Amino acid sequence: MSIGNSPPEDRPSVGQAIQKARIDAQLTVDEVSATTRVRVPIVHAIEQDDFSRCGGDVYARGHVRTLAKAVGLDPDELVAQYDAEHGGRPAPTPAAALFEAERIRPEPSRPNWTAAMVAAIVAVVGFVGFTLFSGGDEQARTPVAQDGPSPDPAGEPDPAKPAEPDPVPSVSESAIAAAPADKVTVKLVAEDGKSWFSAEAHNGRLLEEGVLQDGDSRTFTDDKRIDLVLGNAGAVTLFVNGKEVDKVGEVGQVQRVSYTKGDPEQG
């Protein structure tokens, strides 16, 4: 059902449009509430164009969109009408950039110990041959004490013995694991469909709202808290401070959650 082509003076208000579409669909307020998870008093208030019980414009838009779908209206047209009747939609703030992954340091090249050992053996054989054939009878009777050069008492390394390779520093497995402890970091990933969402900072500032298409992701950071509204919670996977949280909700369910700098406990 579309209401966007009606003249402004004849067009019903947002609440009237929802109420009329619900009655035309032969749905009760209780049935709409059970389907959308929007409480009965809020549904009644919205049908009377009272959005004060929604908790702000962001939540009001989410309720309008959810109720429009439930009663067969075009949610985009109804949200646009709500914006026109309530001062317009605030400009979204760009989403916070993802953390840059740590650069993997290349493993240091190792010396060719095989060539060094061959050179050392050649030197030892040459020294023994020179001693045997260049000395007199007395030297011939003197047993050779060892087959190779004796180790330096000062502790210099034996060239024939491979040196221990330098340890390679460990690298974090992902950029999300490097989330700073003094902030809260929330990442949304749409994996089982698309979902409408909105994200606010702790002071109520809108970070971003819109539709998260299947396969898309968004990451947000704040000093204290991030508040989320998910229009299709079952399609969204959340990572909070580098850790995946439990399932937020079911497919088609509207959920409101908040996260802080602590462990990823659902708000």
Size of the chain, expressed as the number of residues it contains: 267
Q: Over the stretch 65-80, which tens digit does the pLDDT of each residue have?
A: 999 999 999 999 999 9
Contact 113, 88 (CB under 8 A): no
- Say which range, 7-11, 21-25, 46-50, 236-240, has the weakest mean pLDDT: 7-11
Pick the closest to residue 148 from 168, 123, 172 (CA basis).
123
CATH 1.10.260.40 fits 14-85, yes or no: yes
The pLDDT, as a whole number, for residue 118 is 77
Structure tokens at 227: 């508040």
Pick the closest to residue 122 from 132, 130, 133 (CA basis).
130
Contact 12, 84 (CB under 8 A): no
Give the Cα separation of 250 and 105 in Å (integer): 42
Q: Which of 147-151, 167-171, 172-176, 218-222 has the highest mean pLDDT?
A: 218-222
Contact 58, 38 (CB under 8 A): no
Give the Cα separation of 89 and 81 in Å (integer): 10
pLDDT at residue 200 tops 50: yes
Query: How does residue 239 score in pLDDT terms, banded at 50, 70 and 90?
Result: confident
Give the distance between the most distant pair of CA atoms in the chain: 127
pLDDT at residue 92 tops 60: no
**DSSP secondary structure of the chain:** ---TTS-TTTSPPHHHHHHHHHHHTT--HHHHHHHH---HHHHHHHHTT--GGGTSHHHHHHHHHHHHHHHT--HHHHHHHHHHHTT-PPPPPPPPPPPPPPPPPPPPPPP-HHHHHHHHHHHHHHHHHHHHHHS-HHHHHSPPS-SSPPPPTT-PPPTTSPPPPPPPPP--S-SGGG--TTSEEEEEEE-SS-EEEEEEETTS-EEEEEEE-TT-EEEEEESSEEEEEETTGGGEEEEETTEEPPP---TT--EEEEEESSS----
The whole model's pTM is what? 0.35
Task: Calculate the alpha carbon distances from 68 to 21, 184, 194 in Å.
Answer: 8, 33, 17
- Sign of the CA dihedral running 232, 214, 262, 199: negative
Q: Where are the domains of the chain?
A: 14-85, 176-260
Question: Which single residue is written with the structure tokens 């990451």?
Answer: 219
Structure tokens at 194: 């698309």
Give the Cα separation of 59 and 8 in Å (integer): 25
Query: How does residue 170 score in pLDDT terms, banded at 50, 70 and 90?
Result: very low
Pick the closest to residue 188 from 141, 228, 138 (CA basis).
228
